[in-house]
């Protein structure tokens, strides 16, 4: 768990990025209706959670900054027994005052009036531009005297780039649970089972070990389905001789894991499957070895493309000079995505990849990112030797940048051919 003192430090860091005589507002996520009077499971706005750790809806965090003072104000849903009967207990104002180290706590019913008062002596307003929330529109209507309006999301997301020791601990816990799920899946996969059975087994393991939510919709893509990058139907029966690509991660105390493994349904890789799998694995290991402070993701991407193109040429899938293939983007047919992304409170962590001047942000100590090369060959692609058609392979790990280089946080999740086949047996 993250201590209240850490949340306070984050708010203090944010305060230094705000103008004097400014007001900043971050809202909780709203409830999302599934149908009629039922809702999707609630998940807090990551920026809001990052700054205070409060998990309830109908709340807001407000920052008031003058030349001499920085004040944090939390608005929460007041306790109403008639509503709590249906939707569960609320913390309420008084308990929130005890739990959170903020300057003031009010019922959310008082939000509009308090904001009007706070805006009187302010000339800058910070809100989240990118969430399309009608509550922000309402605040803007109250802020007619404000002449500058800034996106507070950008300020928070920069803070989220560097992970604290507490955050890294939670990510490690999510990965530890995900390891159990993937290893169980390797043992459970069998010819004749359906993809959704494998999905159910994975998500059962998540919940069994305390990860009450998956970090994203689990992908279980057997055979040619693996060549659809975001395949989530998971309805196909798994057949003899196929691979199954499993992209599954859990969320533990709001922090994500994101792991992909590709395994043979029958427990044994064919020769052609081994060739493609080994190409992806060798590429991934090389790219991971390049990770260190000041390295750039663009360099990792470029090297991954070179390695994959050279390998595909050896297998007779691509032809020509490596440089020309890459310049003409012929390889994108088989490797269309990036080498990885930031990971943290969100599986694709909302943190910038470039500075305002468009310069790339280099890797730094305590950043966390995924490394996930892949090869995808559609079964209808007659330009490829028949033995490779219908095979999709992706291997993904979660990497912590350290002072000396890197640590593969998911290194204990089986991925060598021998490890996978041994587990399957």
Render pLDDT for 171-230 as a digit per residue (tens, 0 to 9). Answer: 999 999 999 999 999 999 999 999 999 999 999 999 999 998 999 999 999 999 999 999
User: DSSP label at 230?
Assistant: T
Give 264's pLDDT tier (boundaries 50, 70, 90): very high
Render pLDDT for 330-375 as a digit per residue (tens, 0 to 9). Answer: 999 999 999 999 999 999 999 999 999 999 999 999 999 999 999 9
User: Would you name the residues annotated as active-site residues?
Assistant: 37, 230, 247, 258, 337, 341, 348, 372, 376, 394, 396
CA dihedral 409, 412, 415, 416 (to 10 degrees): 120
Is residue 369 within 8 Å of residue 339, measured between CB atoms?
no
Placement of tokens 């998500």 in the chain: 203
pTM confidence score: 0.96
H-run or E-run covering 85: helix 81-87
Answer yes or no: is pLDDT of 129 > 90: no
Task: Measure the CA–CA gap between 115 and 64, rounded to whole angstroms.
Answer: 10
Answer yes or no: is pLDDT of 130 > 80: no
294-297 contacts, C-beta under 8 A, 24 or more apart: 294/362, 294/363, 294/364, 295/362, 295/363, 296/360, 296/362, 296/363, 297/338, 297/339, 297/340, 297/353, 297/360, 297/363, 297/369
Give pLDDT, residue 132.
Answer: 64
Give pLDDT, residue 138.
Answer: 86
Pick the CATH number of 165-424 from 3.20.20.60, 2.60.40.10, 3.90.230.10, 3.40.190.80: 3.90.230.10
pLDDT > 90 fraction of the chain, expressed in percent and rounded: 91
Q: Residue 246 region, left (φ>0) first, then alpha (ψ -120 to 50), else beta? A: beta
Mean pLDDT confidence for 94-108 = 97
Pick the CATH number of 4-160 from 3.40.640.10, 3.40.50.2300, 3.40.350.10, 3.30.70.1070: 3.40.350.10
Give CA separation, 96 vs 74, 89, 250, in Å.
9, 13, 29
Answer yes or no: is pLDDT of 87 > 90: no
Is residue 377 within 8 Å of residue 388, measured between CB atoms?
yes
Give 99's pLDDT tier (boundaries 50, 70, 90): very high
Tell me if domain 4-160 and domain 165-424 are identical in fold.
no
User: DSSP label at 386?
Assistant: G
Answer yes or no: is pLDDT of 21 > 70: yes
The domains of the chain are located at 4-160, 165-424
Give pLDDT, residue 131.
Answer: 63
Give 249's pLDDT tier (boundaries 50, 70, 90): very high
């Amino acid at each position: 768990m993250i201590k209240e003192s850490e949340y306070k430090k984050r708010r203090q860091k944010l305060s230094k990025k705000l103008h004097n005589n400014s007001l900043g507002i971050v809202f909780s996520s709203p409830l999302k209706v599934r149908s009629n009077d039922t809702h999707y499971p609630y998940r807090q706005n990551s920026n809001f959670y990052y700054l205070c750790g409060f998990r309830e809806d109908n709340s807001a965090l407000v920052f008031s900054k003058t030349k001499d003072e920085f004040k944090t104000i939390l608005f929460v849903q007041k306790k109403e027994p008639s509503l709590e009967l249906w939707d569960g207990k609320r913390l309420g104002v008084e308990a929130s005052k005890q739990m959170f180290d903020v300057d003031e706590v009010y019922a959310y019913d008082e939000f509009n009036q308090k904001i009007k008062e706070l805006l009187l002596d302010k000339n800058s307003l910070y809100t989240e531009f990118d969430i399309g929330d009608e509550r922000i529109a309402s605040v803007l209507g109250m802020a007619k005297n404000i002449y500058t309006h800034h996106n507070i999301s950008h300020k928070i997301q920069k803070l989220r780039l560097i992970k604290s020791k507490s955050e890294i601990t939670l990510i490690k816990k999510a990965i530890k649970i995900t390891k159990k799920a993937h290893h169980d899946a390797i043992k459970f996969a069998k010819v004749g089972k359906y993809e959704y059975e494998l999905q159910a087994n994975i998500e059962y393991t998540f919940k069994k070990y305390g990860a009450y939510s998956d970090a994203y919709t689990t992908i279980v893509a057997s055979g040619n389905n693996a060549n659809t990058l975001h395949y989530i139907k998971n309805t196909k029966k798994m057949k003899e001789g196929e691979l199954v690509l499993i992209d599954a991660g859990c969320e533990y105390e709001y922090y994500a894991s994101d792991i992909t493994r590709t395994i043979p349904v029958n427990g044994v890789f064919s020769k052609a499957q081994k060739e493609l799998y080994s190409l992806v694995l060798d590429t991934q290991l090389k790219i991971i070895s390049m990770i260190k402070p000041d390295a750039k993701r663009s360099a990792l991407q470029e090297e991954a493309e070179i390695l994959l193109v050279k390998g595909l040429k050896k297998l007779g899938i691509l032809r020509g000079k490596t440089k020309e293939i890459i310049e003409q983007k012929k390889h994108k047919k088989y490797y269309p995505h990036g080498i990885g992304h930031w990971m943290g409170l969100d599986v694709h962590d909302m943190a910038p990849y470039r500075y305002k001047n468009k310069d790339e942000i280099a890797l730094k100590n305590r950043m966390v990112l995924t490394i996930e090369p892949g090869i995808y060959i559609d079964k209808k692609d007659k330009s490829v030797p028949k033995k490779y058609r219908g095979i999709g392979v992706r291997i993904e790990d979660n990497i912590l940048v350290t002072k000396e280089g890197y640590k593969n946080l998911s290194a204990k999740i089986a991925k060598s051919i021998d490890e996978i086949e041994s587990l399957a047996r």
